[in-house]
Structure 1
Amino acid sequence: MQNLVMARTRAIALLVWNLAGELPLLLSVTGHKASTVPVGLNTLRLLCDAARRRAMTSA
Structure 2
Amino acid sequence: MKIELDRPRCEGHGLCEEVAPDLMHLDDDGELIIDVPEVDEGDMGAAQAAVRICPVAALKLAS
- Whether these two folds match at TM > 0.5 is no
Structure with the larger helix share: 1
Q: Which has the higher contact order (CA 8 A, sep 6+)?
A: 2
Structure with the larger strand share: 2
Q: Which has the larger radius of gyration?
A: 1
TM-score (norm 1): 0.32
